[in-house]
Chain A
Amino acid sequence: MSNSARFRLVPQLETYPWLVSFGQTAPGKAALLGAFAGGLFVNRVNYWLEISLIAAVMSYLPTWRRLLTSVAALYWLIFHHTWLNGPFLSALAKAEGLRTDGWNLKVLFSGILAAVFCALAVFFHYARTRRSSFAAKRPVLLLVASYAAVLAAAGLIPLHGMTRLLAWGVVAMTAPYLWYFAYALKDASSKSSDGAILQFGTLQPFWGGTNVPYPKGAANLRTIEARNPMDLCITQLKAIKLLIWVVILRVPSIALQVFVHGEPRQTERFLGILRSIGLTGWNVPNMGVPSLDIALHHAAVLPVPAAWVSVITHFAEVLIGMTMSGNLIIGCCRMAGFYALRNTYRPLEARTVAEFWNRYYYYFKELLVEFFFFPFFTRYFKQYRRFRLFAATMAAATMGNMLYHFLRDYEYVAQMGFWQAVKGFQVYAFYTTVLGLGIGISQLRSQGRERSEGDARWWRRACATAGVLLFFCLLEIFDEEGRAFRLGEYLRFFLRLFLIPV
């Protein structure tokens, strides 16, 4: 059956010629922006009005889109800098006996951030103008090594007072920008690279993101920008589709919270909806299964079937949550006129472990591929074709993944000390090792399979998908970035699922 003939929960709005024509007119643009603002509001996005207003300005001034992206990034940095960890630095200042009231700290933190940006601007300029230098050829290696060195020094050297605050200030102000800087520096070596002002718009852009850039920096934005009014309209219709998907996904997300976990706040909200439509006096039954976090630490008293339900619902919640948050970010990015690929794309259709990983968290996977996989793949073990692929996969999915999270979660180093933070990383290290092995083996198995994917029988495809989902569902148990518990506790829980007493 062709794609166009397949039933779709959300219609392909961008394929309706009348809608695409209407969306290019002034009232049509206003209608699209209104639908977008409504979508953000319904999905309870903070600052929905400001995001919509920025998208509106960009829609009506397309030739200034990139510059407006930078202006919007500056506005967000000044007024909505949620990614900067102020509470961590304030607590540190207090612990060091420094004054935390008034403007002192705000001025200090702003100064540190300005210094970090200045240092990057110098590095960017150097990499752009001296292309044959080592710094230009390996800018990301230098950037990440420098950040890691500062983090290690802050964690290992006994610093006190203002010196300690300054060291951790540099770490905390750099961490949320690290991989954004990496994409900017990578772009510096390109002949068509953008200047510093346009690069700034890609550093924690107004459409949101995590420490993982969505999409992949200025180089990516240049290639996905809408070129004409029709492109823009189609991109914006696709943005609205993503927001509709978020609304739809709220249903299973709330259902799991209410009927499986009996989460009080969601249950009360659900009862409120029932009451609002005249259904009073209802009682909502629930399975009373705890979340995975609670189940893990009460494994001994939890019946095995309940543990399985907890594991499966946790996986479903992670999958739904990832799709919803990614759709919101990419929806805003598309509304601004950039046709970015979705972060999560039909993960339930994956038939191999590698394919699932690609469909589930696209931009993180791309980060690992860009900065770990290909640098390794193009340099080492060239004469061993299959081992080369496997080793590069381990370098990305295991080592790169571990490094990304260790560098991101600097608070553990500050709180526990460097070596304790390394020791406490054992659960996540186990997770990334199994993930790397799984993807590596999956890729080796896929290599050389010339047969088209569509040729496999339906039951073979269903079995393959079920196997992949089971692998990731069980692996998700170990996707723990905290440092409080040991690996043994997670392994005990895992073995109990298969009735193996430990």
Chain B
Amino acid sequence: MNDRLVIREFLQGLLNRKDDRAVFSDSDQLITSGRLQSIDTLEVVVFLEEKYGIDFSEVGFDQSKLDSIDSMMALIEQK
């Protein structure tokens, strides 16, 4: 499975827990729009740390970098 699909599946899981089953595109901003909250963001952080080895103390933490599949892909590619 490619990285985009892995991230999509993970995010869909977070949204499902909140009974949010609406579709979202790769560029949809899930945090800015309020669909994901801070508690979800930290699960995204742990996911990216564990799955892709991203060290946020190095790259600097910025919620906008975790806002959409596109921005997360940019973070992974930048690593």
CB pair B32–A223 under 8 Å, yes or no, is: yes
Residues of B with C-beta under 8 A to A379: 57
CB pair A358–B39 under 8 Å, yes or no, is: yes
Q: Which residue of A lies closest to B29 (CB)?
A: A223
Q: Quick check: is A101 within 8 A (CB to CB) of the other chain?
A: no
A220 with B32, Cβ < 8 A, contacts A377-B42, A385-B46 known: yes
Q: Quick check: is A83 within 8 A (CB to CB) of the other chain?
A: no
Beyond A223-B32, A374-B42, A379-B57, 5 additional contacts (C-beta under 8 Å) are A189-B60, A358-B37, A370-B63, A377-B45, A382-B49
A378 with B19, Cβ < 8 A, contacts A366-B38, A385-B46, A446-B39 known: no
Taken together as a complex, chains A and B put the C-alpha atoms of A392 and B46 apart, in Å, by: 13
Taken together as a complex, chains A and B put the C-alpha atoms of A454 and B20 apart, in Å, by: 10
CB pair B57–A378 under 8 Å, yes or no, is: yes
Q: Quick check: is B77 within 8 A (CB to CB) of the other chain?
A: no
Residues of A with C-beta under 8 A to B62: 186, 189-190
Q: Quick check: is B61 within 8 A (CB to CB) of the other chain?
A: yes
CB pair B39–A443 under 8 Å, yes or no, is: yes
Q: Which residues of B contact A (CB under 8 A)?
A: 16-19, 29, 32, 34, 37-39, 41-42, 45-46, 49, 55-57, 60-64, 67
CB pair B46–A224 under 8 Å, yes or no, is: no
Task: Report which residue of B17, B29, B32 has the largest number of chain A beta carbons within 10 angstroms of its beta carbon.
Answer: B32
Taken together as a complex, chains A and B put the C-alpha atoms of A370 and B18 apart, in Å, by: 22
Taken together as a complex, chains A and B put the C-alpha atoms of A366 and B62 apart, in Å, by: 12
Taken together as a complex, chains A and B put the C-alpha atoms of A193 and B17 apart, in Å, by: 34
A453 with B61, Cβ < 8 A, contacts A365-B38, A378-B56 known: no
CB pair A378–B39 under 8 Å, yes or no, is: no
Residue contacts A-B, CB under 8 angstroms, 18 given: A189-B62, A223-B32, A224-B32, A345-B34, A354-B39, A358-B37, A365-B38, A369-B41, A374-B45, A374-B61, A377-B42, A378-B55, A378-B61, A446-B39, A452-B17, A452-B19, A453-B17, A453-B18
Considering only residues 190-237 of chain A, those with a C-beta below 8 Å from chain B are 190, 219-220, 223-224
Residues of A with C-beta under 8 A to B67: 223
CB pair B61–A219 under 8 Å, yes or no, is: no
Q: Quick check: is A402 within 8 A (CB to CB) of the other chain?
A: no
Residues of B with C-beta under 8 A to A382: 49
Q: Quick check: is A492 within 8 A (CB to CB) of the other chain?
A: no
Q: Which residue of B lies closest to A220 (CB)?
A: B32
Taken together as a complex, chains A and B put the C-alpha atoms of A190 and B61 apart, in Å, by: 11
Q: Which residue of A lies closest to B55 (CB)?
A: A378
A389 with B42, Cβ < 8 A, contacts A223-B29, A370-B63, A378-B61 known: yes
Taken together as a complex, chains A and B put the C-alpha atoms of A366 and B34 apart, in Å, by: 12
Within the complex, the shortest CB–CB distance from A100 to chain B, in Å, comes to: 45
Taken together as a complex, chains A and B put the C-alpha atoms of A450 and B43 apart, in Å, by: 13
CB pair A219–B64 under 8 Å, yes or no, is: yes
Taken together as a complex, chains A and B put the C-alpha atoms of A386 and B34 apart, in Å, by: 25
Q: Quick check: is A255 within 8 A (CB to CB) of the other chain?
A: no
Majority SS at the chain B contact face: helix
Majority SS at the chain A contact face: helix
- The 8 residue pairs across chains A and B that have the minimum distance between CB atoms: A378-B56, A369-B38, A379-B57, A374-B61, A454-B19, A223-B32, A341-B34, A378-B61
Residues of A with C-beta under 8 A to B61: 374-375, 378
Q: Which residue of B lies closest to A369 (CB)?
A: B38
Q: Quick check: is A412 within 8 A (CB to CB) of the other chain?
A: no
Q: Quick check: is A261 within 8 A (CB to CB) of the other chain?
A: no
Q: Which residue of A lies closest to B59 (CB)?
A: A378
Within the complex, the shortest CB–CB distance from A340 to chain B, in Å, comes to: 10
Residues of A with C-beta under 8 A to B37: 358
Residues of B with C-beta under 8 A to A354: 39
Taken together as a complex, chains A and B put the C-alpha atoms of A365 and B63 apart, in Å, by: 14
Taken together as a complex, chains A and B put the C-alpha atoms of A426 and B10 apart, in Å, by: 43
Residues of A with C-beta under 8 A to B56: 374, 378
Within the complex, the shortest CB–CB distance from A3 to chain B, in Å, comes to: 10
Residues of B with C-beta under 8 A to A369: 38, 41
Within the complex, the shortest CB–CB distance from A296 to chain B, in Å, comes to: 32
Within the complex, the shortest CB–CB distance from B26 to chain A, in Å, comes to: 16
Taken together as a complex, chains A and B put the C-alpha atoms of A224 and B31 apart, in Å, by: 11
Residues of A with C-beta under 8 A to B29: 223
Our pick among B39, B49, B57, B64 for the contact of A190 (Cβ within 8 Å) is: B64
A450 with B64, Cβ < 8 A, contacts A358-B39, A378-B56, A385-B46 known: no
Q: Quick check: is A373 within 8 A (CB to CB) of the other chain?
A: yes
Taken together as a complex, chains A and B put the C-alpha atoms of A341 and B63 apart, in Å, by: 15
Within the complex, the shortest CB–CB distance from B36 to chain A, in Å, comes to: 11
A 358-369 binary contact with B (CB < 8 Å = 1; else 0): 100000011001
Within the complex, the shortest CB–CB distance from B60 to chain A, in Å, comes to: 6
Taken together as a complex, chains A and B put the C-alpha atoms of A365 and B18 apart, in Å, by: 20
Residues of B with C-beta under 8 A to A358: 37-39
Taken together as a complex, chains A and B put the C-alpha atoms of A370 and B38 apart, in Å, by: 9
Our pick among B18, B38, B60 for the contact of A373 (Cβ within 8 Å) is: B38
Residues of B with C-beta under 8 A to A454: 19
Taken together as a complex, chains A and B put the C-alpha atoms of A190 and B62 apart, in Å, by: 9
Within the complex, the shortest CB–CB distance from B20 to chain A, in Å, comes to: 10
Within the complex, the shortest CB–CB distance from A486 to chain B, in Å, comes to: 34
Q: Quick check: is A408 within 8 A (CB to CB) of the other chain?
A: no
